[in-house]
Amino acid sequence: MCLAVPAEVKSIDGMMATVDFGGVSRTANISLVDAKIGDYVIVHAGYAIQLLDKEEAEKTLELFREMLEQENAGA
């Protein structure tokens, strides 16, 4: 139910956008987010519900590594 999948905004027409789920194109309603072409959004039940911070996503593994290293130092 709360399944939501990241997709890239390819084009925008009013409240609707064409988004790309890694090769599969669909339309999504973007009225709940401030999205522009090239943004990554999280799509749930036909609506983009939030922007995905691509840099933060790319940094996630690095952040995890740092967290695990820090704990190592303390443990």
Partner 1 sequence: MFRLRDREMSRKIIDKLERMSLDLTLMHVCGTHQDTLVRFGLDSEFRRIGIDIRQGPGCPVCVTPPGEIEEILAIARAGVTVAVFGDMMKVPGEKGSLNDAKADGADVRIVFGVDDAVALAKNNQKEVVFMGIGFETTSPTIAAAIRSDPPTNFSVLSCHRTVPPALAAIAEMGEIRLHGMIQPGHVSTMIGTRPYEFLSEKYKMPQVVAGFEPLDLMMGVYMLANQVRDGRAEVENEYSRVVHREGNLTAMKVLEDVFEPSDVLWRGFPVINGSGLSIRKRFETHDARSRYSDLLASVHEKEFSEVEGCRCGEMLRGILTSEECPLFSTGCTPANPLGPCMVSREGSCHISYRYRKKQAVR
Summarize as ranges the residues that interact with partner 1 (CB under 8 A).
1-4, 6, 15, 21-22, 29, 31-34, 42, 44-47, 49-54, 56-57, 60-61, 64-65, 67-68, 71, 75
Least distance to partner 1, CB of residue 11, Å: 18
Residues 59, 63: Cα–Cα separation, whole Å: 6
Instruction: Check if the beta carbon of residue 19 is closer than 8 Å to that of residue 35.
Output: no
CA pair distance 74, 21, nearest whole angstrom: 41
- Contacts of residue 39, defined as CB under 8 A and 6 or more positions apart, other chains included, come to 8, 9, 51, 52
**In the complex with partner 1, which residue's Cβ is closer, 32 or 37?**
32
CB of 73 to partner 1, least distance (A): 12
Nearer to partner 1, 11 or 60 (CB): 60
